[in-house]
Amino acid sequence: MSSAEPLTPPPAAPHTTTAEPSGAGRAAWLRGPLPAVRVGPRHLALVGVLALSAVLNTHRLSQNGYANIYYSAGVKSMMRSLHNFFFVSFDPSGLVSVDKPPLGLWVQALSAKLFGFSPMSLLLPEAIMGVLAVALLYYIVARRFGWVAGIGSALALAVFPSFVAVSRDSGVDPLMILLMLLACGAAVRAAETGRWRTLIWCGVLVGLAFNTKTLAAYLVVPGIALAYLLCAPGSPLRRTTQLIVSGLVMLAVSFSWMAIVELTPASQRPYVGSSTNNSELGLTFEYNGFGRVQGQTGGPGRIPHGRGALARYHLAETAKERELLARKAQPPSTKTPPATRSSHSHRAREPVAFPGSTGPLRLFGRGLGDQGGWIVPLAFFGTIGVLLLLLLTRRRSPAVQAPAAEGDPPAGGPSPTSLRRDPRLATALVLGRGSSTPTTPRRSHQAQQRWRESAPSRSSSWRAPGGWIGGYSRWS
């Protein structure tokens, strides 16, 4: 019996280098056929949803004029000087500021500075941010629930009446919605990885959203905190510490601009509009805070939305227009006693600032419930449905486990830990808790009234792709 021959490795293949094309060869290579790009149903569906959102947000956008002329006049004044720009001054002289934080108005002022002050330079950025929000929502949902669920979520947001209304207005809601969605996406990623940096960025984004529309940005904070506490890897102490640090960063970013305003002497900055004590803190927690719940209808120096004579005066381009507006702003004739003049018709012409009666169920009442309150039960039951789906999935497919993390037991069967680490649970908690208030129904209520006033005629307005929004509130 002969001994086995020793095994020898096969000869190595000769080392060859591929020279990069140069000169004429590179030109021929560039003119060659492009690599095939596979276009599937998900891409066509996403393009269709984004195109629909763009049409709804931009079609006949010019008919809205300057939309909310209170903010439009403030943007025009902010273009006059850096002082007015930083302190969001309402008037060119820098006497009174606008009743909102600066970030959303800064975007409009920069757009007007680049492309000239016009209705389109103010409204088009809002419409574009609305389309970006639809695309971002698709990405967040499709990443864990599949492209069908992502398309459904994006389509629901794209055609949501309140969302379309605020995306066609000169308010600051589209930027706030976009920043809140970015924060939700960062929160989901942080709950999956447990990284400090991702959670810190989430706090920064919420702080930027606060600098767009104050306390409304904090509506996503409970869902983010709950999702991270339940789903993030690591010990409970580590998760709690990370949330506290991220919360401190969020507060620091939120109140950074406000602190500068408060530390600036009152004689060197505009008076804080709509406040009672010339304080941004008072404006935030009173007029823009508890006043929204208690039924406050206005503040000192408040310019009515849509019909402010002073705002129209600032928007006038010529001296003749200012003279005509100044005459219209004169006090009414004293021939008719003020006591005998009914203010009923005047109140009816002004957009309602806070529709509905005060109370915890205000969002479900007439004027707000038909705009966005009906989505709250859907968000609640949707979250419950996702939790039940995850439980059933764990029982039927015990082999599907979340990746093990530090402090978690080894995977081997369905357990509360593996369910907690399921990335879909974090997505459902963040979006389910925050999606109940993706837009501002009160702002959309005002935007619709301005839309109906600026429409050339009822019939031509209804022919517009977004025309049905104007009649939406009349159905209730």
What are the beta bridge partners of residue 89?
97
- List Cβ neighbours of 230 (8 Å cut-off, separation of 6 or more): 420, 425, 426, 429
First-last CA distance in the chain: 98
Q: CA–CA distance from 128 to each of 3, 114, 161, 367 (Å)?
A: 78, 16, 17, 27
Separation CA 120–CA 317 (nearest Å): 16
Q: What is the mean pLDDT of residues 51-80?
A: 93
Is 60 exceeded by the pLDDT of residue 18? no
Q: CA 471, CA 475: separation in Å to the nearest integer?
A: 7
Q: What are the counts of helices (DSSP H) followed by strands (DSSP E) for the chain?
A: 23, 0
pLDDT band at residue 224, thresholds of 50, 70 and 90?
Answer: very high
Residue 11 has pLDDT above 80, yes or no: no
The Cα 430–Cα 471 span in angstroms is 32
What is the distance between the alpha carbons of residues 52 and 131, in angstroms, rounded to a whole number?
9
> What pLDDT is recorded for position 394?
66
For 52, 148, 406, the CA distances from 145, given in Å and listed in that order, are 22, 8, 25
The pLDDT, as a whole number, for residue 165 is 92
pLDDT at 159 over 50: yes
What tokens were used for 399? 């082999």
Pair 265, 275: CB distance under 8 Å: no
Token pair recorded at residue 78: 């902010």
- Residues near 310 by beta carbon (within 8 Å), at least 6 away in sequence: 73, 91, 303, 329
Is the pLDDT at 370 greater than 50, yes or no?
Answer: yes
**Weakest-pLDDT range from 42-46, 83-87, 252-256, 316-320:** 316-320
pLDDT (0 to 100) of residue 19: 52
Q: Write the pLDDT tens digit of every residue in 329-356.
A: 444 444 444 444 444 444 444 445 566 6
463 class by beta-carbon count within 10 Å (0-12 exposed, 13-18 middle, 19+ buried): exposed
Average pLDDT over residues 192-208: 95
